[in-house]
Amino acid sequence: MNTLKQLSSVLIVLTFSSLWSCELLQVKKQEETQQPEKKPVARVHNAYLYENDLEGIVPAGTSETDSAGRVAIYINNWVRKQLLIDEAKSKIDFDEADIQRKILDYRYSLIAYQYQSYYINQHLDKNVSEEEIKEYYEANLDNFPLKQNIIRGKFIKMASSVPKIGEVKNLILSNQEKNKEKLQELCFGYAANYTLEDSVWINFDDLVKGSPFAEIPNTVQFLHSRKYAEASDDTYRYFLKITEYKKTDDISPLDVVRDQIRDIIINKRKIELAKDLEKEVYNEAIKQNSFEIYR
C-alpha cells in the first residue's frame, strides 16, 4: 500500500514537471516567434552587418536610387574597415581597455558636440555691426597682410578692329558722368572683357591674366610708376587705369577683409557660447548636488 502511494506521488511530480517543461517550451517558442531573426547584409570573417544596423543612414525623402547608393557605400566602407581591423588585430597586440576608454571618450565628445551645436544655433547672434568690424580691424592690423598685389581701377580688352577704339583712352581717363556712361555703352557693345567698377579692390594678376600686362617683370615698380597704360597683341588692345594700388605684404584694406573679420567675430561668439554652456551646466549641477568626486 505504501509502495502504491509512493508511486502515485512520483507520477504526480512527473506529470507537473512535464506540464511545466511544456509551458516553458511554448513560452520560448513564442519569444522566438516574437523576435524575428536578424537578417545579415554583409560578413567579414565572424563579424556581421545586419539590416537594422543600416537604420538612419538614409535621410527621409531620399530617392530610391540615392538611398541604394548610400547603403551600398556604407556597406562597402564597413567591409573595408572591418578587414583592416581584423588585419591589425592579427599583427599587433592592442590594449583593449585603453581602446574602450578612447571609444567612450569619443562617444561623449560627439554627444557634447552635438548638444553644443544645438545650443549655439539657438543662441548665436549673427548680426555684426560695421563698428565691431572696424574696431577688430584696427586692433589687429598686423593679422591682415596682403598675399598679392591689388588695385582699384579700370581694365578693358577690346578688339583692335573696333571703329570707336580711339575714344577709349579719353573716356577711361575722364571723371565726367556722361563719359562714364559712354564708356559703359562702348564696352557693353564691343569689349571682349572689361572692369569699370574702380571702387572695388581686385587681384592685379587675376585682372590682367592673358594680357601683355601679365608679362611685366616687376609688377610693383610698374604699379608705382603708372596711373595709365596701354598694350596690344595681334588681335586686341588693352587699356588699364590704376586709381590706387597695394602691394604684397601691405596691410589689407578693410574692404578686402571685411567678410573675413565678420566670420572671425561670429566664430569668437560661438566659442564664448560653448564656454558659457559648460559653465552654466556645471554651476547648475553644483546647486542641485548632482555629482560627487570621491578621493
Query: Domain check: are 200 and 223 in the same one?
Result: yes
Res. 242 pLDDT band, cuts 50 70 90? very high
Res. 26 pLDDT band, cuts 50 70 90? low
Q: Is residue 14 part of a domain?
A: no
Query: Domain check: are 42 and 126 in the same one?
Result: no
Query: Domain check: are 104 and 86 in the same one?
Result: no
- Quote the domain boundaries for residue 229: 146-246
Query: Domain check: are 161 and 220 in the same one?
Result: yes
Give the dihedral of Cα atoms 260, 265, 269, 274; nearest 10 deg. 50
Res. 24 pLDDT band, cuts 50 70 90? very low
Q: Is residue 27 part of a domain?
A: no
Q: Is residue 40 part of a domain?
A: yes
Can you give the CATH number for the domain in which 201 is found? 3.10.50
Query: Domain check: are 156 and 239 in the same one?
Result: yes
Q: Is residue 24 part of a domain?
A: no
Count of domains in the chain?
A: 3
Query: Domain check: are 56 and 118 in the same one?
Result: no
Query: Domain check: are 71 and 123 in the same one?
Result: no
Q: Is residue 189 part of a domain?
A: yes
CA neighbours closer than 13 Å in the CB half-sphere of residue 223: 20
Whether 182 shows a pLDDT value over 80: the answer reads: yes
Query: Domain check: are 64 and 195 in the same one?
Result: no
Query: Domain check: are 80 and 205 in the same one?
Result: no
Q: Is residue 78 part of a domain?
A: yes
Query: Domain check: are 66 and 206 in the same one?
Result: no
Quick: pLDDT tens for 249-284.
999 999 999 999 999 999 999 999 999 999 999 999
Res. 168 pLDDT band, cuts 50 70 90? very high
Q: Is residue 16 part of a domain?
A: no
Q: Is residue 295 part of a domain?
A: no
Residues 40, 48: contact at Cβ < 8 Å?
A: yes
Quick: pLDDT tens for 78-125.
999 999 989 998 898 888 899 899 999 999 999 999 999 999 999 999
Query: Domain check: are 67 and 110 in the same one?
Result: no
Query: Domain check: are 115 and 162 in the same one?
Result: no
The pLDDT assigned to 61 comes to 83
Whether 36 shows a pLDDT value over 70: the answer reads: no
